[in-house]
Chain A
């Protein structure tokens, strides 16, 4: 006779409501883990999109994501000529705010050289940029549609294609334009400012600047060797793809990771306290029945089993409800929420452990219950 199940069935409504409450709490824990994974993946997505092996940046810079980097535009041609480099692309990155259908949207503008690494990796709708100017491919999360026109800086672009899952570490959707357009957008002065500069005897600022050059290597080439040879140019730095990903995950999102990690830990602690209190309360409500069971000969193992089973049922049903909830609503979050099976299973394990530890409080009370209390004074 399973006393735990019979007790749950007797108070099914209350038990389900308790599980639902715990499920909501665990859904928040899971969403925090998913948001963290989303931040890491988002940060890495842009770095992985060019499918490159080496990032050439300004000397002593950890750019172009963690630090600013500006290098001459002709660097791409020089890099492309290095032995072992299969292809090289010049890229610019900048975040701008643009008006989209009456609202202000933050966009992560990526300028790339057509035909070279660094363009939109996948097209889910429309086509790649075909013309040299005024065309744009946007991430679907920007909310733009094919054929829509959008003004960036002083130039109006037409959306010709949509890509997906391309956002920066801040969650801003990426839009791709040609390198020339991006350089104009990033480096051209406002006409009034340009006139003042000319009047003061200055020369027009050069647009021939990029933030980075990415190099895709031939299969036989060693990334570290090629990077070392690039570093011989004193004005350039070279970061391998592995180093770039380490910079992004350890440096750029480190604070967010620690922040979310701390919050998740806090939520797990709160969950543990709540589970412990629920189990304790459930045990205290049954203390006379537990005393009766002990009096009529129930072994401690039977009573401990009842409490532990109820604690596990509470935790695991709450976890299942929480997981079902978060899996169904994760796409409605403003930022990407990524729930990976191993993370969810790990949390399930943690919840199980928390339930076992939390039930210890109830078990302690139950084991201390004096059978004589069943008989009364």
Chain B
């Protein structure tokens, strides 16, 4: 792992001995087995593994979408799961702490780029004018401000993914979960998006966890984990530079 100077090195995401199984008896499927993982501020890590290895399940557990069967999950020092959910309002927790980036951007087709970003702020009850202002700032930061009034259908894949990243960052979350963030992009644009995520991680001291199969961007991660049959098997050294 590359050691970089960080003001706070306590993990933002702490996954301890988390297991998740679906079904019981003969139909039981162990999606995650005793998985432990720490992600610190500014880190960008990748989860690799074949289909069905548990990558998405782990992402869903960290995103408080799927309830683990056992283990402990702590986000920003706040233990949210320890044998059971300790927070009643997981929706609010996701809104405040976690940003999501999707494989196929998942922008709302009836909102322009600005409002696709502003919707995340709107849900957090930020006044509309302030939400739009912050959205435009984010779009400018991601160098897509010139497309702020475009509907998703009019955006290229790379542009749409940058709008999606802006939406994920709107509420300044310190945990960003990305599911195949570059799958729909060519190698050049995939590189640009990953550089952008790395920049964000550094500047905002956020932890980024990405599921990917894209070998072209492996060098952009601080650590790469391999999941196989629900076990976090290996951790490869990062090759990225800060």
Interface contact B111-A6, CB-CB below 8 Å: yes
- Does A10 sit at the interface, judged by CB under 8 A? yes
Rounded to whole Å, the gap between the CB of B60 and the closest CB of chain A is 5
Q: How far is the CA of A377 from the CA of B100 in the complex (A)?
A: 15
Interface contact A9-B106, CB-CB below 8 Å: no
Interface contact B94-A297, CB-CB below 8 Å: yes
Q: How far is the CA of A371 from the CA of B179 in the complex (A)?
A: 13
Task: Name the one of B66, B102, B118 contacting A374, with C-beta atoms under 8 angstroms.
Answer: B102
Rounded to whole Å, the gap between the CB of A310 and the closest CB of chain B is 11
Interface contact A376-B110, CB-CB below 8 Å: no
Tell me the residues in window 176-200 of chain B with beta carbons closer than 8 Å to chain A beta carbons.
177, 179-180
Rounded to whole Å, the gap between the CB of A209 and the closest CB of chain B is 76
Chain A residue nearest in CB terms to B167: A296
- Does B59 sit at the interface, judged by CB under 8 A? yes
Interface contact B95-A297, CB-CB below 8 Å: yes
Rounded to whole Å, the gap between the CB of A309 and the closest CB of chain B is 13
Assuming the A-B contacts A6-B115, A376-B180, are A297 and B110 also in contact, with contact meaning beta carbons closer than 8 angstroms in the complex?
no
Task: Name the one of B51, B66, B115 contacting A1, with C-beta atoms under 8 angstroms.
Answer: B115
Residues of B within 8 A of A295 (CB): 63, 65, 94, 100
How many B residues have CB within 8 A of the partner chain?
34
Assuming the A-B contacts A1-B118, A6-B110, A7-B110, are A375 and B56 also in contact, with contact meaning beta carbons closer than 8 angstroms in the complex?
yes
- Does A62 sit at the interface, judged by CB under 8 A? no
- Does A216 sit at the interface, judged by CB under 8 A? no
Residues of A within 8 A of B102 (CB): 292, 374-376
- Does A288 sit at the interface, judged by CB under 8 A? yes
Rounded to whole Å, the gap between the CB of A371 and the closest CB of chain B is 5
Residues of A within 8 A of B56 (CB): 372, 375-377
Chain B residue nearest in CB terms to A1: B122
Rounded to whole Å, the gap between the CB of A146 and the closest CB of chain B is 62
Interface contact B92-A297, CB-CB below 8 Å: yes
Taken residue by residue from 116 to 140, chain B's Cβ proximity to chain A (1 for < 8 Å, 0 otherwise) reads as: 0011101110001000000000000
- Does A102 sit at the interface, judged by CB under 8 A? no
Interface contact A297-B106, CB-CB below 8 Å: no
Residues of B within 8 A of A371 (CB): 65
Rounded to whole Å, the gap between the CB of B159 and the closest CB of chain A is 18
Residues of A within 8 A of B111 (CB): 1, 6
Interface contact A296-B123, CB-CB below 8 Å: yes
Q: How far is the CA of A371 from the CA of B108 in the complex (A)?
A: 15
Q: How far is the CA of A377 from the CA of B123 in the complex (A)?
A: 26
Q: How far is the CA of A292 from the CA of B151 in the complex (A)?
A: 17
Taken residue by residue from 145 to 182, chain B's Cβ proximity to chain A (1 for < 8 Å, 0 otherwise) reads as: 00000010000000000000001000000000101100
Taken residue by residue from 34 to 67, chain B's Cβ proximity to chain A (1 for < 8 Å, 0 otherwise) reads as: 0000000000000000010000100110010110
Residues of B within 8 A of A6 (CB): 110-111, 115
Residues of A within 8 A of B66 (CB): 372
Rounded to whole Å, the gap between the CB of B152 and the closest CB of chain A is 10
Chain A residue nearest in CB terms to B122: A1
Q: How far is the CA of A288 from the CA of B102 in the complex (A)?
A: 12
- Does A219 sit at the interface, judged by CB under 8 A? no
Tell me the residues in window 260-277 of chain A with beta carbons closer than 8 Å to chain B beta carbons.
none
Interface contact B110-A11, CB-CB below 8 Å: yes
- Does A294 sit at the interface, judged by CB under 8 A? yes
Residues of B within 8 A of A375 (CB): 56, 59-60, 63, 65, 100, 102-103, 177, 179
Ranked 3 nearest A-B pairs via Cβ: A297-B95, A10-B110, A292-B106
A289-B109, A295-B65, A296-B167 known, 9 other contacts, Cβ within 8 Å: A1-B119, A1-B128, A6-B110, A295-B94, A298-B123, A372-B56, A375-B59, A375-B177, A376-B179
Subset of 22 A-B contacts with CB under 8 Å? A1-B122, A3-B110, A6-B111, A7-B110, A10-B151, A292-B106, A293-B123, A295-B94, A295-B100, A296-B123, A297-B92, A297-B94, A298-B91, A302-B123, A370-B65, A371-B65, A372-B60, A372-B66, A374-B106, A376-B103, A377-B51, A377-B56
Chain A interfacial positions (CB closer than 8 Å to B): 1, 3, 6-7, 9-11, 288-289, 292-299, 302, 370-372, 374-377
